[in-house]
Amino acid sequence: MPGERKAIRKRIVLSNTNALSVQMEDLEKETLTDRRLIGSVVGLPENVVDSLRAAEAFRPTQVWGLFRRPGVLIREESVVLGEKLAEAEETKGSFRMVIDGDRISGKSMMLLHAMTTAFLRGWIVVNIPDAQELVIAGTEYAPIEGTSPIMYSQNEYTANWLGQIAKANNTVLHGLQLSQKHDLPIPIENDMSLVRLCELGARDKEVSWPIFKAFWSEITAAGRPPILVSLDSLGQVLQTSMYRDAAYKLIHSHDFAIVAHFADCLSGKNRLANGGAVIAATNRSHDPISKSLELAVKQSLEMKQGGKLLTKRDPYEKKYDERADRVLQGLEILQLKGLSKVEARGLMEYWAKSGVFRSRVDEKIVTEKWAVAGNGIVGEIERNALMMRI
């Protein structure tokens, strides 16, 4: 069967009946910013799990399949992020953030946490699960008529994406109805719900991009809930894509309508009028190296730490991307490091309770695993405590 092996590879198992059931608190709207929970693993509520799954927030590389039900570790950074999101909702403001950190330091999980927070708070979540899919020339593309310079739409991806958005935000979008007049290629009812609008776009890929634009103008209209726009693997969309234009030149990824839309959100050009956040996570495993991103991250951290710019732009470096630079200006960076020992212990106790970590969790073993894992890089702890059998 075509696509069968890919389906197996990308399959996400969220429950394992062999694992022991662990008594844990469910994450709720009230406990999102609760500092008491730092270092403990909390369960994800069932309706949020459905939404997260629809939004493809779970990645096949994460080990959800070892446990009875999905739970996340609350770490210091997640509470900080939760507080920022709460503040954005209250003040109707918005922030733009890039989550960066070493390999397997939990960047995608932080994104998942942000999405969980957004779902619990009743936001609209627009997630691009893997930016790679947009730029590696794996999905169809077509120039959009009447654009100069030419922009390209990716109709099949957009249609699928609209379907995901509709499914993930079903409850919120059901309550929202069209409030504006739209000039669309297909006739629509004036008072249809936004879920219905997304579904129309998902069904007919030819009109998916105009429908997404209409959907966006609807959700940014006055009186709508805040929006979380998120993307994983930022490095992929900061340079030329692998698509070619009619003259056989490589197309820059920002010439694609979806990517350009996200880039405008990240640069602050597309304002989120009802508040919200734009969060992108980098990927240190298979993203292409983006010199612009490296520089932006470095400079942003220096400004945050010392308030003084130490790293200057390298005048001899040719690989900076001008269009990426414009997007990355003045971004906030959330730098993920290793877990603290308290957090590591909380995580390991959860593993032990689930029956997958067969050893006593004491000071000694926590310190050992923590140290071996490069001072608590969470994926490394998982590797040497959970995956490795000696």
Partner 1 sequence: MVFILGVSFHESRLVKKCLETFYGIGHQHSSQILAKHHIFPGAKVGSIPSKTITAITAELSTLKIENDLRRQLRDNLQRLKDMGTYRGRRHAMGLPVRGQRTRSQISTARQLNRIERRG
By the criterion CB under 8 A, which residues form the site for partner 1? 2, 137-143, 152, 243-248
6 touches 56 (CB < 8 A) = no
DSSP letters spanning 217-278: HHHTSTTPPPEEEEEE-GGGGSSEEEEE-TTSPEEEGGGBHHHHHHHHHHHTSS--TT-EEE
Please tell me whether residue 373 adopts helix, strand or coil conformation.
coil
CB of 152 to partner 1, least distance (A): 8
DSSP secondary structure of 29-41: TTTTT-GGGTTSE
Q: Which is nearer to partner 1, 205 or 224 (CB)?
A: 205
Supply the minimum distance, in Å, between the C-beta of residue 143 and partner 1: 6
Q: Nearer to partner 1 by C-beta: 3 or 307?
A: 3
Letter for the amino acid at 306?
G
The pairing of strands 227-232 and 124-128 is parallel
CB of 335 to partner 1, least distance (A): 36
Which residue number, 206 or 368, has a Cβ lying nearer to partner 1?
206
Output the smallest distance, CB 248 to partner 1, in A.
Answer: 5
Closest CB to partner 1 among residues 247, 390? 247
The number of angstroms, rounded, from the C-alpha of 28 to the middle of its chain's C-alpha atoms is 20
CB of 22 to partner 1, least distance (A): 43
CB of 258 to partner 1, least distance (A): 15
Residue closer to partner 1 (CB basis): 137 or 186: 137
Least distance to partner 1 from the beta carbon of 269, Å?
26
Q: DSSP secondary structure string, 52-120? A: HHHTT-S-TTS-GGGSSS-EEE--HHHHHHHHHHHHHHHHT-EEEEEEEESTTSSHHHHHHHHHHHHHH
Question: What residues contact 247, with CB distance under 8 A and at least 6 apart?
Answer: none
Closest to partner 1 by CB, 58 vs 152, is 152
User: Alpha carbon of 173 to those of 13, 155, 168, 225, 373: distances in Å?
Assistant: 27, 22, 9, 10, 43
Cβ nearer to partner 1, comparing 2 with 315: 2
